Amino acid sequence: MSTYLALRAILSPIARKTVAQILSAGNGLNVVRSASPAIRAVPVRFYAEKEVFKRDKPHCNVGTIGHVDHGKTTLTAAITKVLADKDLAESKKYTDIDNAPEEKARGITINVAHIEYQTENRHYGHTDCPGHADYIKNMITGTAQMDGAILVVAATDGAMPQTREHLLLAKQIGVNHIVVFINKVDAADQEMVDLVEMEIRELMSEMGFDGDNVPVIKGSALCALEGREPEMGANAVMKLLEEVDKYVPTPVRELDKPFLLPVESVHSIPGRGTVVTGRLERGMLKKGQECEFVGYNKVIKSTITGIEMFHKILEEAHAGDQLGALVRGIKRDDIKRGMVMCKPGTMKANDNFEAQVYILSKDEGGRHKPFTSFIQLQMFSRTWDCATQVQIPGKDMIMPGEDAKLQLRLMRPMVLEQGQRFTLRDGHITLGTGVVTKLLAPLTEKERLALTEGKKAREKAATGKA
């Protein structure tokens, strides 16, 4: 308990909750011995008592996306309550999911929250994504981990700016199966609800989804959470989950490849070690395996000494699992979000590559004007983002709505591989989406200096204009 109180003052709210659950679970990751009497006194038998994750159903990652305040977190809480009544989930309150102080103060989701539940057919890892425009970076991370999504739209508002942007990002990242939940139907008349359904189907078709056939469920997450109006409450939530079971296909995982886990967050537990969290993108993982962290000009070797998923012991992690891995001999500050944990020797960082990119048109939410070589953009891929300089081979400019072959140079080397998808943003605008087609020779010291000096000159010029 003393360890928990000491940590509470310095860790982020989400980390505090993670640490509290690990400590209260009785040293579930009891693989690093400590001199602390308080920790040493915990009997080893608690390790055995901690529940082991049973892989008796297909695992699928889904999540809630949509505009701020349309009810994504309320729906997430409602799903757990309805399923808890059937012994298929642990009921979570709204405040358990929106648990950072700023989230509570503003009543919006900022960070990505992960919870678990089951239906009769599947085990789900559920990501509650932030809808606020200021936190789009966290939303990109959350969406990148999904196999399918639930788009939440308020019947009182209809489609709003982040509704469109989230659909756009989901499409770019490769989330192709989306089920719609029209929320707050208890606060709107039937004509309004029908109008919102038509509007959403049209928007989804415009964004490249099958708008005519996408499942649309109408209900009230608040009614489900408060246990009233079962037809629009609990029954609507169960109908939603049935449609997710049917419409989102069971993903085919790459289990035979070397393991790769993009790091989403890092936590330090005194007396135990460092825990990294993220979704295992491919391969399988076991306690005792050697691993390597790559990114930000670092390559750090370690050994995995424990694995958990949703606070249950994982004897073997499979691609698609949202997990926490305890690693030996590494300090919290050695690892950063955006690095990858991989099989030693299988991944390298690079800063120079060619890509095929689609530049969004004005109507799709992109730029109004063309851009030329040497523009600096922000690139998002997996869990990292980095400033990048764009060069256009053989052309003067790229128009909105065009497909283009580009050469991109990152301000710092990050893990890249052929076929890797990414998103380019310019300020608050999503400029385009692309795929890495060819890795080029890393930048020389002279080229890197020119790149960084050019960045400084642009920043200085921008400051002067201001």
What span, in angstroms and rounded, lies between the C-alpha atoms of 449 and 452? 5
Check residue 202 and give its pLDDT: 95
Name the percent of the chain lying above pLDDT 90. 42
- Beta strands per DSSP E along 344-457: 349-359, 371-372, 376-381, 384-391, 397-398, 403-415, 421-426, 429-439
Say whether 132 is catalytic. Answer: yes
DSSP labels, 129-153 = ---SGGGHHHHHHHHHT-SSEEEEE
Which residue, chain included where needed, has tokens 């990501």? 127
Q: Which CATH superfamily is domain 59-247 in?
A: P-loop containing nucleotide triphosphate hydrolases (3.40.50.300)
Residue 166 known to be catalytic: no
Return d(Cα 345, Cα 326) in angstroms, integer.
20
Fold matches, 59-247 and 349-465: no
* Greatest distance between any 2 Cα atoms in the chain: 69
Residues 6 or more apart in contact with residue 286 via CB below 8 angstroms:
304, 307, 315, 316, 317
Averaged over 113-139, what is the pLDDT?
A: 71
Two structure tokens written together for 382 = 């997996």
Which of 98-102, 291-295, 322-326, 416-420 is predicted with the least confidence, judged by mean pLDDT?
98-102
pLDDT over 50 (residue 3): no
Q: Render the burial of 351-389: b for 16+ CB within 10 Å, e for the rest.
A: bbbbbebbbbeeebbbbeeebeeebbbbbbbbbbbbebb
Which of the two residues, 44 and 403, has the higher pLDDT score?
403
Cα angle 340, 277, 350; round to 5 = 10
DSSP letter at 423 equals: E
Range with the lowest mean pLDDT among 15-19, 222-226, 306-310, 428-432?
15-19
Please report the pLDDT score of residue 251 as a whole number: 85
User: What pLDDT, on a 0 to 100 scale, did the predictor assign at position 168?
Assistant: 82
Q: Which of 72, 92, 123, 126 is catalytic?
A: 72
Q: Among 130-139, 159-168, 301-310, 453-462, whose mean pLDDT is lowest?
A: 130-139
Q: Give the start-to-end residue ranges of the domains of the chain.
A: 2-53+254-342, 59-247, 349-465
More confident of the two residues 450 and 340 = 340
pLDDT tens digit sequence for 242-280: 999 999 998 888 889 999 999 988 988 877 789 999 999
pLDDT for residue 456: 64
Residue 207 to residue 183: CA distance in whole angstroms: 21
CB-facing half-sphere around the CA of 346: CA atoms within 13 A: 16
User: Amino acid identity, residue 79?
Assistant: I
Instruction: Spell out the long-range contacts of 388-396 with Cβ–Cβ below 8 A and sequence spacing 24 or more.
Output: 388/424, 389/451, 389/454, 389/455, 390/424, 396/372
Classified as helix, coil or strand, 51 is coil
Query: Average pLDDT for residues 113-138, to the nearest whole number?
Result: 72
Read off the pTM: 0.67
Confidence of residue 140 (pLDDT cuts 50, 70, 90): low
Residue position matching structure tokens 């308080």: 38
Instruction: Render pLDDT for 48-64 as a digit per residue (tens, 0 to 9).
Output: 356 777 777 888 989 88
Cα–Cα distance, 79 to 82 (Å, whole number): 5
Query: So what CATH class is 349-465?
Result: mainly beta
Structure confidence by residue, pLDDT tens digits, 235-248:
999 999 999 999 99
Give the pLDDT score at 364.
76
pLDDT at 155: 94
**The pLDDT of residue 46:** 34
Q: Of 59, 67, 70, 73, which residue is the catalytic one?
A: 73
CB 275 within 8 A of CB 18: yes
The pair of structure tokens assigned to 436 is 């890495």
Give mean pLDDT, residues 348-352.
Answer: 94
Identify the sign of the CA torsion 172, 173, 176, 178: negative
**Confidence band, pLDDT 50/70/90 cuts, at residue 361:** confident
Lowest mean pLDDT: which of 34-38, 337-341, 400-404? 34-38
Mean pLDDT rounded to a whole number for the chain: 80
Tell me, yes or no, if 73 is annotated catalytic.
Answer: yes
- Evaluated on CA atoms 394, 398, 404, 410, the torsion sign reads positive
Looking at per-residue confidence, does 452 or 62 come out higher?
62
Which residue among 3, 69, 157, 437 is the active-site one?
Answer: 69
- DSSP state string for 64-94: EE-STTSSHHHHHHHHHHHHHTTTSS----H
Tell me what pLDDT residue 132 has.
Answer: 43
CATH superfamily of 2-53+254-342: Translation factors (2.40.30.10)
Instruction: Spot the catalytic one: 50, 132, 312, 455.
Output: 132
Dist CA 338 CA 382 (whole Å): 7
* pLDDT range class, residue 429, cuts 50, 70, 90: confident
**Mean pLDDT across the stretch 166-175?**
80
The pLDDT, as a whole number, for residue 136 is 53
